[in-house]
Structure 1
Amino acid sequence: MTQTLGAQTIALVKATVPALEAHGMDIVHEMYARMFRDPAIRDLFNQSHHGASDAQPRALTGAILAYAGNIENLAALAPAVERIAQKHVGLQILPEHYPHVAEALLGAIRHVLGEAASDEVLAAWGEAYWFLANILIAREKRLYGAQAEAAGGWNGWRDFRIEDVIRESSVIKSFVLRPVDGGPVMDHKPGQYLTFWFEIPGHPAAKRNYSISAAPNGETYRISVKRESMGLASGWLHGQAPGTVLKVAAPAGEFFLDGRPTRPVVLLSGGVGLTPMVAMLEALVAEGAEVPVHYLHGTHDRDTHAMRAHERIAGIKIQDSRPARDVLPFC
């Protein structure tokens, strides 16, 4: 990232760090409350991250603090910017949505900080916001373009039909998805996810990300989903049968196995966290990787050990060789 912010803006933003450390969560909660008054903006977000865990507000508070603290060294934020851009592309965030966030953020800063949020401070944060926003918009434009240009790629929401449902464990089911239009699907990078727009009767639109749990094949995707005890989307999805049509965004995500590795590969996962690892493992086998590959997976017990008898990973036998509640080696 090239530093182009003015010295006064940098000084004012850095001066707000103590206030952000003290009141950051209050500012973020107020910001989301303002944005979510508009149902169209609310539906852009994964609402499961705004519940009791406060996962998204905490993450955004940390991001704002990191931005303010590194305003003179934005290169340090490059990995975080890429992660945010990938999430935005999955959620179908577009340039026209950014002004809503700017208005809500600046309004929240003024509301929470009161007189401390002078016109100069708000102007500095407005400049800093749009500086970062324009970086994100440019990166997201490139990502959307790459999706549209890829063989089998698309932008927006594409209809996929559930072709098969596989019970993987007492809590996890896999869903094989094929596009309704009968066309090919773009190759994902093993480890990436799909974003879904669920229309669940009696509830607002729900967006969820699920890792793709299979290597690229150009025709279908597979996701493997744990049914959470209080999970609206996972509970609904577990009740669906072949034939159900789902709205799906193109693969996204910055966590993936890239290319043919030249060093030994070690994969570690726990519970339903095995999904991206299985995709990586399948891809390594399909590509004939010539390096040692070790995969260790931990789960609660044998009943929750998903894909124990998975046979699509050619040449690799998945077996239990430790007691329940211990680490279960996949290979």
Structure 2
Amino acid sequence: MAVLKQLVKVASKKKLVGDYWQLALEFPDRFDFLAGQYVSLKVDEAGIRRSYSIASKPNGKMIDLLVNVGPMGVGSRYVLGLKEGDGVEVLAPVGKFVVDESKMMNGKNKLFIATGSGIAPFRSMVMDLLTRGFKDQIRLV
């Protein structure tokens, strides 16, 4: 998959708990990515970018990001300032932290361990595996 620069739209932004926000982005066309990949958002006019793992399963034009705004850096302030309908420049899809299907489809139970916003790529992976009919036990801790 080629990494493309695209302008996407903020479909929704929702406070979850504490410093965590869910940001839903809508692509103009179908967006193909592998569970575990991330997007890089342009967060200021100087071209500074911040990367956020995709927390949703691959399924069309929409993706969800889980953002920890606790650090209150340039990325945090940018995300907090976004409103529904705003345009966002992204580079996507990026990353190789994806499920190796040859190792997943082996009849063994799976364990994913994460903390904080680090859960995002694992959420994407688990949702994708379940959608594709994965039958082994999966634990997300």
Fold shared by both chains (TM-score > 0.5) = yes
Tell me which residue corresponds to 1:166.
14
Tell me which residue corresponds to 1:247.
89
Out of 50, 55, 60, the position equivalent to 1:218 is: 60
Tell me which residue corresponds to 1:121.
none
Q: Per the alignment, do residues 166 and 230 of structure 1 end up closer, same or farther by CA in structure 2, a change over 3 Å counting?
A: closer
Out of 127, 130, 134, the position equivalent to 1:289 is: 134
> Aligned partners of 2:67 and 2:36: how far apart in 1?
15
> Aligned partners of 2:125 and 2:110: how far apart in 1?
10
Out of 197, 200, 207, the position equivalent to 2:42 is: 197
Query: Which structure carries more strand by proportion?
Result: 2
Tell me which residue corresponds to 1:111.
none
Aligned residue for 1:215, secondary structure, equals coil
Out of 35, 38, 48, the position equivalent to 1:206 is: 48
Question: How many percent of aligned residue pairs carry the same amino acid?
Answer: 21
1:244 offset after TM fit, Å?
1.1
- Judge conservation of contact 1:193–1:252 (CA < 8 Å) in 2: yes
Larger relative contact order, structure 1 or 2 (CA cutoff 8 Å, min sep 6): 2
Amino acid at match of 1:255: F
1:261 offset after TM fit, Å?
2.8
Moved over 3 A (4+): none
Show CA shifts across 1:283-319 (max 9, x none). 12211211111111xxxxxxxxxxxxxxxxxxxxxxx
> Aligned partners of 1:242 and 1:258: how far apart in 2?
35
Aligned residue for 2:12, secondary structure, equals strand
- Judge conservation of contact 2:20–2:67 (CA < 8 Å) in 1: yes
1:168 offset after TM fit, Å?
1.7
Amino acid at match of 1:159: L
> Aligned partners of 1:294 and 1:161: how far apart in 2?
33
Tell me which residue corresponds to 2:30.
184
Please list, as runs of the form range in 1=range in 2, the aligned pairs for 1:231-246 lying within 5 A after superposition.
231-246=73-88
Query: Which structure carries more helix by proportion?
Result: 1
Question: TM-score with structure 1 length normalisation?
Answer: 0.40
> Aligned partners of 1:167 and 1:261: how far apart in 2?
36
> Aligned partners of 2:72 and 2:131: how far apart in 1?
37
Q: Is 1:270 matched with 2:115?
A: yes
Q: Is 1:256 matched with 2:119?
A: no
> Aligned partners of 1:265 and 1:251: how far apart in 2?
25
Amino acid at match of 1:172: Y
Show CA shifts across 1:258-289 (max 9, x none). 33532321100011111111111111221121
1:230 offset after TM fit, Å?
3.5
The number of aligned residues is 138
Gaps of 5+ in 1: 1-145, 148-153, 297-331
Show CA shifts across 1:153-178 (max 9, x none). x63x2000000112221111111111
Amino acid at match of 2:105: P
> Aligned partners of 1:236 and 1:218: how far apart in 2?
25
Gaps of 5+ in 2: none
Two-structure CA RMSD over aligned residues (Å): 1.6
Query: Looking at CA atoms only, which structure, 1 or 2, has the larger radius of gyration?
Result: 1
- Judge conservation of contact 1:212–1:223 (CA < 8 Å) in 2: yes
Aligned residue for 1:219, secondary structure, equals strand
> Aligned partners of 1:198 and 1:229: how far apart in 2?
15
Aligned residue for 2:119, secondary structure, equals helix
> Aligned partners of 1:227 and 1:256: how far apart in 2?
25
